[in-house]
Structure 1
């Protein structure tokens, strides 16, 4: 109960409630990701861990001088600009990062630099609440496949790899998204960072262990994938080919974390002596010193949140007549590769001159209806994987393959009134600027695809069509011409 009666607790709790009320919508969208994605389920325990870390610093917090900081307003303003940018451009990772970074900024501004220094690591660890990292999945899949194939070759078993498919005499395996190791990596990095802080005193030892917590799960996941292939091979494909290999994975991860903590524990520093609290009531906040920072913070927060609430992304009245350029009456020769884009305003597929087409148009940029969204996929990732890719300034060409050994080429680009490119980040930046000046953030993606018969000839054909369209009439469609 002494904890609850402390002035420090009351101040921190009040700031937390204020932060939660002002940024409720952004916090809600973050928690929704924690709930639906197993990759970020660990984020639910970040707040309890931060409370524990604050409790560890309780004696130090009772010795500080509470002196609100005007300097912090500069960083608060920058964080709010970042939040507005991410929110208006529908870049969730930026919006959510700024949201969770705002809480430490508010504490710094209202309680002062001494409190901010004492809670520096806690503030850093708090940012693990932001669900980020899934962009690394394709690279992690490739790394896992590389390690697996290398280990199989060392074993002496014949192996053939194409894309993310690995074939051995006994069967065919795919390094799927669930096998990428992203969950291992994020969880290990989070736990490793916490372990390093609690068990080491020097920056060097902490850095080495954190790097170890990143390297170990990457290597371990490759070994796990190799082990699954070997179990399946040695059991004539009876084991480790279904749900059981996911079970083996989590057991294996538990063993890896145990090894990581055991190794790290050998070099742990002695625990610091427990400090006594001389002033259980806690330091008092200088209300006279709070006036300027408090008013400045209030103005910045209210202005930013009010602007966000009053703002509505405008919707374009243009409906591109894609059927005037491409034949949408004839169905594609193969629909198994088709992309998946969430809630487009208009979508069409077709075939023309032996080339399949996919088109998805968005007349605005609102939550759940975005041209650039992490859940949008350029091809059916459940059935196809990338073999190679090539790109120029405007469009990108991929070669994909499926489990049956069929290969396709696909060429794509995003088209907006301001910019044409295959780079999603550039489109998001363009849409952010459009949002800030009140313009509609409309645009579309066009994907052209062809089964490979003669690779060089087919690629040349696709790229000629892409060059003619994306450097020609692609943007004219958005002007209603």
Structure 2
């Protein structure tokens, strides 16, 4: 690699940087103070989560990447751009939406973009373009990627089953649960490979930037850094099951499971980087500066006063959104300890039942109710959890609120899908799940949400409806509705739930509306 020759800057440019850098640093500091809860939430995840521990080194790496650009930056005179305040305001609004909808990732991404857009406000677009990659690399500091876990787990389970069958090992699978002659295995969160994927993409993106200069090669290597860990995780899962099978479950269990997995992943990633380095593009030699002439600055040096005005303006625009969030937070509803009682359900009678031994793993609700009903020998269960005054720690839609956890020792999810039902005389799309429980019992489960009068089974729409409701001053009252029934020998569970849903619609809707009226 050719060593870059530092090119001297003009006295005017150097003077401008001596004013602009303190102004930029102060603007960053004040914004981080304004959004300290969001920043601290990110930092706390870096510390406690192995998946996102890389966030601790992203800010230092960003500073190092900026330092590498110092020769190019010396040629540019910082000049503020007030047009960038529009983008900064947009990022601030996105942060507000993330807060009112309790979407941590949206709030955290928005904070990073606020910091990014402060750069063109204070230093100008030429400087921002020069620092485009280092600034965008900060986005890797956001703990983001858990949403891929269910699909990655599904793919890993399917590939493991395929590999075992191709090897000649009989396997019985239900969802993420596998049974082979020597034992049973489950694909849980740690087997999803999301840790490998996030680590590979972060390091792979940095490697592509430092190793290549053409956009095509950079994008190709980033794409490879996404594909390789996914496929490698499939091989890792298959390898671990095979090691356990061939060793009589003496190897690849317990701690060995994780150690072998990381060793295998490390070898694959090292091979990927070694192969990628064979097509590296060395930096072009920098032109030697002529000692007899002074290179001009690219932009006109801004006055000290105008730079500070731009920095103050960026902080003021950013501060509007925490202020707006506090105003919306004051418009909370009254506390809630119990929901309105359910009215009688036509044709269905309340009955004590073993169905209530299963309870959805939803928490942090303001109130809930669960009951079983009987009609002509058919049983059906109903679970309602009502949410009010949600925040980032207490919310209805989160990775912690599920029908059943993957490590549940009694219940397991074995199938899932969607279907349209009739509820309160209107069609509703619901999520369907089949659970296997103790003694071989199977439950058919339907789940969807209610958000201030809107029905949906989509987590994304729940967040959108919640944000819209809060921004218009209507609060965030929401509820999750879960209906369940035994599958039965003839598989009549869906038919039983369809009849129960039609009958229970008016009672459930009335209970939700009456509870909303107590706001």
> What is the TM-score of this pair, normalised by structure 1?
0.91
Report the more deviating stretch, 24-33 or 221-230: 24-33
Q: Which residue of 2 aligns with 1:315?
A: 333
User: Match for 2:407 among 379, 382, 389?
Assistant: 382
Q: Give a deviation string over 1:345-384, Cα, whole Å, max 9, x none.
A: 1123332222233321113222322122222112233231
Q: Give a deviation string over 1:130-154, Cα, whole Å, max 9, x none.
A: 1111011110001101111121122
Q: Which residue of 1 aligns with 2:355?
A: 333
The answer to whether the aligner puts 1:127 opposite 2:173 as a matched pair is no
Residue 274 (structure 1) shift: 6.9
Q: Which residue of 2 aligns with 1:107?
A: 119
Q: Which residue of 1 aligns with 2:386?
A: 361
- Which of the two has higher C-alpha Rg? 2
- In structure 2, relative to structure 1, the CA distance for the partners of 1:451 and 1:34 (3 Å cut) is farther
User: Match for 2:215 among 203, 220, 239?
Assistant: 203
What residue ranges of structure 1 are gaps of 5+ in the alignment? none
Q: Which residue of 1 aligns with 2:8?
A: none
Contact 1:416 1:478 in 2 (8 A): no
- In structure 2, relative to structure 1, the CA distance for the partners of 1:414 and 1:325 (3 Å cut) is farther
- In structure 2, relative to structure 1, the CA distance for the partners of 1:129 and 1:140 (3 Å cut) is same
Report the more deviating stretch, 312-321 or 99-108: 312-321
The answer to whether the aligner puts 1:415 opposite 2:442 as a matched pair is no
Contact 1:364 1:440 in 2 (8 A): yes
Q: Which residue of 2 aligns with 1:480?
A: 514
Q: Give a deviation string over 1:17-55, Cα, whole Å, max 9, x none.
A: 122112111111122222232211111111111011111
The answer to whether the aligner puts 1:465 opposite 2:500 as a matched pair is yes
Q: Which residue of 1 aligns with 2:473?
A: 438
User: Match for 2:52 among 27, 36, 40?
Assistant: 40
Q: Which residue of 1 aligns with 2:7?
A: none
- In structure 2, relative to structure 1, the CA distance for the partners of 1:298 and 1:43 (3 Å cut) is closer
Residue 102 (structure 1) shift: 0.7
The answer to whether the aligner puts 1:349 opposite 2:361 as a matched pair is no
Residue 325 (structure 1) shift: 5.3
The answer to whether the aligner puts 1:92 opposite 2:104 as a matched pair is yes
Q: Give a deviation string over 1:243-270, Cα, whole Å, max 9, x none.
A: 2101111112211221111111111111
User: Match for 1:447 among 482, 485, 504?
Assistant: 482
- CA-atom RMSD, angstroms? 2.9
Q: Which residue of 1 aligns with 2:462?
A: 427
Residue 207 (structure 1) shift: 0.8
Report the more deviating stretch, 348-357 or 411-420: 348-357
Contact 2:443 2:484 in 1 (8 A): yes
- In structure 2, relative to structure 1, the CA distance for the partners of 1:379 and 1:464 (3 Å cut) is farther
Structure 2 residue matching 1:440: 3-state secondary structure: coil
The answer to whether the aligner puts 1:153 opposite 2:171 as a matched pair is no
User: Match for 1:20 among 15, 32, 37?
Assistant: 32
Mapped partners of 2:276, 2:222: distance in 1:
10
> What is the TM-score of this pair, normalised by structure 2?
0.85
Report the more deviating stretch, 149-158 or 451-460: 451-460
- In structure 2, relative to structure 1, the CA distance for the partners of 1:323 and 1:418 (3 Å cut) is closer
Contact 1:133 1:186 in 2 (8 A): yes
Residue 475 (structure 1) shift: 3.0
Mapped partners of 2:239, 2:207: distance in 1:
28
Mapped partners of 2:397, 2:288: distance in 1:
53
The answer to whether the aligner puts 1:49 opposite 2:61 as a matched pair is yes
Contact 1:333 1:351 in 2 (8 A): yes
Mapped partners of 1:286, 1:456: distance in 2:
77
The answer to whether the aligner puts 1:300 opposite 2:317 as a matched pair is yes
Equivalent positions of 1:140-289 (< 5 A) are: 140-273=152-285, 285-287=302-304, 289=306
Report the more deviating stretch, 459-468 or 60-69: 459-468
- In structure 2, relative to structure 1, the CA distance for the partners of 1:321 and 1:454 (3 Å cut) is farther
Contact 1:340 1:379 in 2 (8 A): yes
Report the more deviating stretch, 168-177 or 238-247: 238-247
Q: Give a deviation string over 1:191-220, Cα, whole Å, max 9, x none.
A: 111100000000000111001001100000
Mapped partners of 1:216, 1:357: distance in 2:
44
Structure 1 residue matching 2:283: 3-state secondary structure: coil
Residue 273 (structure 1) shift: 4.2
Contact 2:485 2:496 in 1 (8 A): no
Report the more deviating stretch, 300-309 or 155-164: 300-309
Structure 2 residue matching 1:333: 3-state secondary structure: helix
Structure 2 residue matching 1:356: 3-state secondary structure: strand
Mapped partners of 1:301, 1:173: distance in 2:
50
- In structure 2, relative to structure 1, the CA distance for the partners of 1:286 and 1:406 (3 Å cut) is farther
